[in-house]
Amino acid sequence: MKNMKKITGLWVISVAVMAFVACEPVENREEMKGATTMDKINQYVKVEQEIRDGKKSNFFSLSSDHLDALSSFSYGIGTYAGTNTNGYIQCFVVSGDQEIVFTALNADGTKLTKTFPVTIDECFDVAPEWELLCGEGSKVWTWDTSAPAYYGNGGYLVHTVPTWWMVSSFADQGGLHYDGEGEGATMTFSATGAKFTKNKTDGSTESGTFSFDMSKTKINSDGNALWSIGQLTTSQIVVLNGWNGNDNDDNGKAVYVYDILLLTDTEMVLGNPITGAEAWDTCIYWVFRAE
């Protein structure tokens, strides 16, 4: 029995030691240090501008090879992660002095940035929608109060403006979900940084970004023509009164993705259907004009 107690005691001590060892975190402090330094960024990060017809273009090659960190390049119309290996990419749609900002995020959370000033002599291959939406750099949009209705709903893939429920005055007919975003409120779309700003009637502003994809078109319910010509996506904020009150069994939702039904130099019509919509299901419409 004494031997048994001795063995049991040794076993308990061994388990305790093992438990202590197993719970003790293994930390290699050398590995926790930031692997990327400014010296490495200066050595390895490359921003190469494409020259077209003897002019500094809006296309760049971006490289961050050999860096042990998460890396990204932020430029005029977006952000690129890692290294661009497919030749030159379009970074700006506006000429003049611009910036490309490189960011490296190390495993320990340290962040390093480097700004590359660039000059664009001429922009090439710019989608016409950029100028329609942003003008020569930025453009202000507001509700088209001259339209029969500038907010409301209608049939998805059928109507292209408010047709069933038609709002021509938020004050008189309701439908305004976000305070300060009715008549008199504006939106500014800027090509520099793809920035999107709402200016509310109470004097406050909200800012975010936007992007569009003109390849995401939809055919109308008859199958004989385009219903939408592309898609607009906003981040951080929605367009003026960007709310679909008919979605989620009428509980509503904030809208960040919009079908573009019309976009000209002076007019813009957007739509958003209820989730899982088919032809003739409910779709919300926004009708704007350029100031």
What are the tens digits of pLDDT across the range 16-64?
333 333 333 333 333 334 589 999 999 999 999 999 999 999 999 999 9
CATH of the domain at 99: 2.60.40.10
Per-residue confidence (pLDDT) for residue 10, from 0 to 100: 36
Give pLDDT tens digits for 131-152. 999 998 999 999 999 999 999 9
Statement to judge: residues 221 and 258 lie in one domain: yes
pLDDT band at 262 (very low <50, low <70, confident <90, very high): very high
Statement to judge: residues 58 and 80 lie in one domain: yes
Q: Which of 85, 120, 155 is the last residue of a domain?
A: 120
Strands 243-244 and 282-290: unpaired
Alpha helices in the chain (DSSP H): 2-23, 29-32, 38-44, 128-134, 170-173, 247-250
More confident residue, 33 or 169: 169
Q: What is the mean pLDDT of residues 228-244?
A: 97
Statement to judge: residues 168 and 76 lie in one domain: no
Give domain status of residue 4, yes or no.
Answer: no
Is residue 166 over pLDDT 70?
A: yes
Statement to judge: residues 286 and 147 lie in one domain: yes
Give the separation between CA 206 and CA 92, rounded to whole angstroms: 23
Per-residue confidence (pLDDT) for residue 78, from 0 to 100: 84
What residues have CB less than 8 Å from 75, skipping those under 6 apart? 60, 91, 92, 98, 99, 100, 101
Give domain status of residue 278, yes or no.
Answer: yes
Q: What is the mean pLDDT of residues 182-191?
A: 97
CA distances from 62 to 36, 50, 75, 81 (A): 17, 11, 11, 9
Give domain status of residue 276, yes or no.
Answer: yes
| Sheet with 55-63, side-by-side order of all strands | 46-52, 55-63, 89-90
Give domain status of residue 10, yes or no.
Answer: no
Statement to judge: residues 136 and 97 lie in one domain: no
Give pLDDT tens digits for 90-137. 999 989 999 999 999 999 999 999 999 999 999 999 999 999 999 989
Phi/psi at 250 (nearest 5 deg)? 70, 15
| Tokens standing for residue 30 | 């050398």
Per-residue confidence (pLDDT) for residue 34, from 0 to 100: 52
Q: How far apart are the first and last CA of the chain?
A: 96
Statement to judge: residues 83 and 163 lie in one domain: no
Per-residue confidence (pLDDT) for residue 92, from 0 to 100: 93
How many domains, the chain?
A: 2
Give domain status of residue 282, yes or no.
Answer: yes
Statement to judge: residues 196 and 168 lie in one domain: yes
Statement to judge: residues 162 and 192 lie in one domain: yes
Statement to judge: residues 176 and 263 lie in one domain: yes
Strands 267-273 and 257-263: antiparallel
Residue 131 DSSP SS3: helix
Give domain status of residue 5, yes or no.
Answer: no
Statement to judge: residues 90 and 223 lie in one domain: no
For residue 73, give its domain range.
Answer: 34-120
Per-residue confidence (pLDDT) for residue 192, from 0 to 100: 87
Give domain status of residue 214, yes or no.
Answer: yes
| Helix %, strand %, coil % of the chain (to 5) | 20, 40, 40
Statement to judge: residues 114 and 155 lie in one domain: no
- The one-letter code for the residue type at 37 is T
Give domain status of residue 265, yes or no.
Answer: yes
Statement to judge: residues 191 and 152 lie in one domain: yes
Residue 91 DSSP SS3: coil
Give the separation between CA 291 and CA 69, rounded to whole angstroms: 45
Q: Which of 88, 120, 152 is the last residue of a domain?
A: 120
Per-residue confidence (pLDDT) for residue 87, from 0 to 100: 82
Global pTM reads 0.77
Per-residue confidence (pLDDT) for residue 83, from 0 to 100: 75
Q: Which of 104, 120, 136 is the last residue of a domain?
A: 120
Cβ distance 73 to 62 under 8 Å? yes
Is residue 282 over pLDDT 90?
A: yes
Give the separation between CA 9 and CA 80, rounded to whole angstroms: 61
Mean of the per-residue pLDDT values of the chain: 88
Three-state secondary structure string covering 15-63: HHHHHHHHHCCCCCHHHHCCCCCHHHHHHHCEEEEEEECCEEEEEEEEE
